[in-house]
């Protein structure tokens, strides 16, 4: 009988032993996995940065990024060109190829004008006017759209309108070419219907 009791005790100990071995094996596998992950991520590297050094590095990166963002917000630097010579040449005239047509403000009437410019400077002004025809036409039409029927009846209407157009055209040219150069604006045709 004692042999039978010993065999039964062995059978009873054997499932407990198997469970203990499985649990120890799983714990060992988890420990190896965690250790391998920490080693792969550089947790055990000898050259660890202190937290102060890491903060200083991040602040340096942030200030560099802020400088780049500020430069991007400013846009590209404008290249300044030499200003034209101050000597005046004989007067040059240039007529815009297409007439300007705009509605009067608050009215059903239409104003049509053919515009010519005069400059004392060399042909660069005329070339710039021809080159930037679209933005110049837009600026002139924006001024003409503000004219009302009451404005047309004033004695100096065309002179005042020509002066406003000259100021707008020079502003556009100065923004695009750093030099306006238009001395006067003339209407070669002017119709209000």
Return the percentage of the chain with pLDDT > 70, whole number.
80
What one-character DSSP code corresponds to residue 95? E
The domain locations on the chain are: 2-74, 92-192
Q: What is the mean pLDDT of residues 176-188?
A: 88
| Chain centroid to CA 59 | 26
SS3 call for 80: coil
Q: What is the mean pLDDT of residues 121-139?
A: 88
Q: Does position 1 have pLDDT exceeding 60, yes or no? A: no
Q: Does position 50 have pLDDT exceeding 80, yes or no? A: no
Q: What is the pLDDT of residues 67-100, one digit of tens each?
A: 777 766 665 655 655 655 555 567 888 898 899 9
Bridge partners for 185 per DSSP: 117
pLDDT value of residue 64: 81
| Degrees, nearest 5: CA angle 67-69-75 | 105
Give residue 189's pLDDT band: very low, low, confident or very high (50, 70, 90).
very high
Q: Does position 112 have pLDDT exceeding 60, yes or no? A: yes
> For the chain, how are helix, strand and coil distributed in percent, rounded to 5?
55, 15, 30
pLDDT value of residue 74: 65
Q: pTM score, two decimals?
A: 0.54
SS3 call for 185: strand
Residue 188 phi, psi (nearest 5):
-85, -20
Rounded distance between C-alpha atoms, residue 5 and residue 96, angstroms = 120
Bridge partners for 184 per DSSP: 118
Reply yes or no on domain 92-192 having CATH 3.30.479.30.
Answer: yes
């Amino acid at each position: 009988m004692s042999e039978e009791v010993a065999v039964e005790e062995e059978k009873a100990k054997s499932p407990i032993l198997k469970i203990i071995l499985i649990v120890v094996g799983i714990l060992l596998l988890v420990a190896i996995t965690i250790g391998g992950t920490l080693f792969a991520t550089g947790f055990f590297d000898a050259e660890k940065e202190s937290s102060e050094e890491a903060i200083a590095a991040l602040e340096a990166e942030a200030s560099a990024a802020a400088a780049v963002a500020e430069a991007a917000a400013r846009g590209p630097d404008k290249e300044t060109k030499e200003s034209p010579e101050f000597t005046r040449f004989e007067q040059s005239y240039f007529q815009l190829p297409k007439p300007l047509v705009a509605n009067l403000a608050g009215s059903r009437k239409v104003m049509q004008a053919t515009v010519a410019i005069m400059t004392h400077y060399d042909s660069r002004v005329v070339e710039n006017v021809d080159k930037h025809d679209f933005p110049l036409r837009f600026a002139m039409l924006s001024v003409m759209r503000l004219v009302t029927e009451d404005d047309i009846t004033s004695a100096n209407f065309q002179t005042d309108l020509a002066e406003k157009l000259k100021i707008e055209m020079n502003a556009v040219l100065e923004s695009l070419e750093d030099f306006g150069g238009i001395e006067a604006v003339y209407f070669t045709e002017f119709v209000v219907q």
